[in-house]
Every structure is written in C-alpha cells, then in structure tokens.
Structure 1
C-alpha cells in the first residue's frame, strides 16, 4: 500500500488537498486519487462502486474489502502569532514623499542638460539632426553647463536617510527647537563642498588633531537620523554615527559638548548601536 499526499492546504477549520493511494495485492493493484476539499463537518457517503469510505474529522479511514487503513492528518496552518517585519514596529513610520529642490541633485541636472545640448548641437552642426541654425548656441551653453554639472557632481554630498515616526512628526513643529529643525533639514538634502554632514559641529566637539581630541581619520560619519518620541513624551532627534576607530567612552566624554553645541533647550544622551554604530540622542526640553 502506497500513500502520497500532494498539494496539502488548510481551508478554514477543515482539511484540503489531494491524496494518491496505490493498493497492491498479489498481482493485482488498484490506485485511488482522493480530493479532500470538503469542510470537516461534512461526511460523504460511501461510494457503491469502489466500496471506499472517507471520513474527514482529523483522521481518514479507508476501507477496501477486508483491508482497512487508518491515516491521521494533522492540519498545520501558518503561525499568526509570529510577528512580521511590519508588525514589529510599535509605531507607524511616516514616509517623506514631499518634493523639494533640496532633494534634487544639481550636479545631475547640470550634467544632463550640458550633455544633451552638446550632443544635439554637434548633431545639428553636422546636419545629422535638424536645427543647424541653433547649433552654435547649443554648443556655447552646453560646454559650461556640462563642466558646472561635473564640478557639482564631484563635490556632491548625498543626503542621509531619515526615519520618522508618526508621533514624532506631530511633535516636531511645536516641540523641536529651531536648531534641531535646521540640523534635520541640512542632513536630508544635497550639500556641496563639505566632506561630511555636520562637519563643523563634529570638528568642534571632537577637536580634530588637538590636545585631548581625536585624529581626523577617526572622525565619526553620520549614517542616518531618526525622529522619535521619548517615554516621557519629548521630541528626540537621534544621530546615528559610524566610528570604527572610536569607543563609547569617546562619545560619553563629549556628551555635554553635544548638548552645548546643539542647544539651548537640549539634553544629549549617547549609546552604542550595532557593530561600529553609535547614537547621539538630542532630546528637546520643550513639551506641549
């Protein structure tokens, strides 16, 4: 006797699927294909042609002549108690879909316009494309635009990701200090000419190359920011830095400097994240 179960499924409280049953006695063999798609409360009648009876109620009983086979099926559904990645967050996250010119790369725009004008200008000049009377003008403006675009692209500093929780977004307007708002706006837009985000602040706080400071090659790099609300209902801007050459003690010694530089009205806390990540929590003392 060979039993094969194919495409099992769970429907509501009952079972479902297909069972292939092959019964061999001596030189004779019989095969059955059983489709289990009834609810568990329905008991089908025996088939008079085959003498086969099926009872679906957490177990199946097959009878053929004097041979009796009992199969026990355990229906196993997906574990709904296992939290998914979207359900692990206690608070919903707000996506930043607002359009702003600060989120657009001027290097990409300048380089794209310059290359387009140059390409069409050369094509028109050699009569490959129409508009030969405008070729000189397109070439005249295309060269400087392409050069400016390449320069901006080279000096470009990309924005860092910003994770904002819905309750923090509602508190930002009334509870966040002007400096915290400015810090957020500066790091989530394109910047040009700076080596890293918050470069001036980090230079003063960590005192690169000075006595009691750190080497510039060990400077922390801002990876992302996060807006959240503390347990006591205060707005908090979290700066997440990557610092492979520093320890948590290097941030703890400068905790007061973080509060002083980004103040007034700010309380600073530092903590260790995963791997080489460190968090600086700037908590606004303003409440509703």
Structure 2
C-alpha cells in the first residue's frame, strides 16, 4: 500500500465533527447489527460492547483524539428508530370486522347445509356474521390509512420533554387509522389554505400529507416535519401561510417551510421552542 499524505489510518471516537466520506467502523462482538444513519455513514455496532472506531481517512491526515460533551452526543445520535409500540389505533377495524363477519357467514352456510359440523349453531353464526361483514365493509370503505413516520433516536429522546401537547397529538392522529375523514389534518388545512375563499385555493388543489418525520435541530430542539404532496401549488403558497401554520399548531412552536426531496413535495417543520 502506498504511504504519504494521500492515506492515513487513525482512531476517531465520537466527536462533534461530521464523519469523513469513507469510514470503516470495526467491532468484534458475537452479535452485531447493521444501521444506517442520516449522515450517510455505514457502521457495525455491537449490542454488548462499544469499541473505538477505526477510520480509514483518504486525502487528509489523521485527526487528533477529542472527547464529546453530553449535548453533542445527543445531536450526533441520528439513527432511525422503528416504531414497535402496539396500539389498537394502529389496527384496522374494517379488516377485523370484515374478516370475522365473512368467517361466520362462511362457516354458518357450511353448517346449515351439513357440509361442516355444528348445524345447531348455523342460525346464530349467520345472524351475527351478516351485520359484522356489512359493518366491516363500511369501515373499510371510510378508512384513512396512517402515514409513515420516520423517527430519529435523538428526536425520540426529546419528544417527551420538549414536544408540545399539540405536536404530540398531531403525531398520534396521523399514525393511526381514521374513519370518515377525507385526509389527514383536514380541518387544519381547510383553515390555513381557506378552500374556495378569497385568497385561498381550490379544494381539489389541497395538499395531502404523505409522511411525517421527527428530528432534532442543530440547536437541540424537537422538530416535527410534515411532508405534503401538492403538485398544483408552489413554494410561495406555503411561504405565504407560514405564520398561519405557526399560529394554528402553536403556541410554543416556530414554523419553517421548504421544498421536499422530490418534485411536488413540500415540508412544513414545526419546531418546539422548549429545550432541555
């Protein structure tokens, strides 16, 4: 291997600086997990013991060893956290009602014609199976599925103490099944964009919530980012209503508006003013 200023091998523990473009993190436990951080660096981390990272630095000399403060370690913890919490709100009652109703109807008809055992219960199964199937179909028709929620680990630590009650309610409302609503945050968008009113937009051009993202700002504040799809709108349409977003989802928050990663996507970041 060639030597010189072009390549160097060094030990770089956690620090406040961003990792170099090419980093190789090595650890030697019996069980390892593979994680992807939003700073686009790949690392192998141990579930038992953490060891210093061995970085291969290209194009620069090895950095000196530094120690990180508690506040910086909170901001550098930027891995995705999967939502494993079980809640009935995340279960589709339409699927449950339709499944139970169709099962009772199928078995009831089979028992009635002596294809299946339990003919004495066939009338009862048919009596309850039919309305359950109808209710299940109605709920399935009026069902509004939850939107994806991407949560960073540093934001998860801030949510309990820094997120306002309204931000917590918004998050909980959009990640569960709803029934009868045309879209998520329908009442909020109706007031902010003033459908069909002077200075407002047409209802058919209303933005649709595609996903939400929980993250921490550089100042260590909790941020709930709402990602909307609005192909008929411009960034200026959101910028004009930035103050309305802050007032509707306030108090105690600051709203920031910007473009999303793809064409036709716009982000509204609701940043809590509360800090640890």
Task: Quote the Cα distance in structure 2 between the aligned partners of 1:85 and 1:170.
Answer: 18
Aligned positions of 1:1-288 closer than 5 A: 81=22, 86=36, 88=40, 91-273=78-260, 274-288=262-276
Q: Which has the higher contact order (CA 8 A, sep 6+)?
A: 2
CA contact (8 A) 2:36 2:80 kept: no
* 1:287 Cα deviation after fit: 1.0
Task: Quote the Cα distance in structure 2 between the aligned partners of 1:180 and 1:99.
Answer: 20
* 1:127 Cα deviation after fit: 0.4
Task: Quote the Cα distance in structure 2 between the aligned partners of 1:126 and 1:248.
Answer: 64
3-state DSSP of counterpart to 2:196: coil
Q: Deviations over 1:232-287 (max 9, x none)?
A: 11000000000000000000000000000000001000001121000000000011
* TM-score, reference length from structure 1: 0.71
CA contact (8 A) 2:255 2:270 kept: yes
Flag structure 2 segments of 5+ consecutive residues without an equivalent.
2-20, 25-33, 42-75
Task: Quote the Cα distance in structure 2 between the aligned partners of 1:206 and 1:186.
Answer: 20
Task: Quote the Cα distance in structure 2 between the aligned partners of 1:101 and 1:85.
Answer: 29
- Structure showing greater Rg: 1
Q: Which residue number in structure 2 is paired with residue 27 of structure 1?
A: none
> 1:167 and 1:217, CA in 2 relative to 1: closer, same or farther beyond 3 A?
same
Task: Quote the Cα distance in structure 2 between the aligned partners of 1:82 and 1:175.
Answer: 33
More strand by share: 1
Task: Quote the Cα distance in structure 1 between the aligned partners of 2:211 and 2:183.
Answer: 12
> Number of paired residues?
210
Task: Quote the Cα distance in structure 2 between the aligned partners of 1:174 and 1:86.
Answer: 26
Task: Quote the Cα distance in structure 1 between the aligned partners of 2:23 and 2:161.
Answer: 38
3-state DSSP of counterpart to 2:215: strand
Flag structure 1 segments of 5+ consecutive residues without an equivalent.
1-12, 14-79
3-state DSSP of counterpart to 1:184: helix
Q: Deviations over 1:116-145 (max 9, x none)?
A: 000000000000000000000000000000
Task: Quote the Cα distance in structure 2 between the aligned partners of 1:242 and 1:102.
Answer: 24
Superposition RMSD on alpha carbons, in Å?
Answer: 1.7
Q: Which residue number in structure 2 is paired with residue 62 of structure 1?
A: none
Task: Quote the Cα distance in structure 1 between the aligned partners of 2:243 and 2:211.
Answer: 22
Task: Quote the Cα distance in structure 1 between the aligned partners of 2:36 and 2:180.
Answer: 38
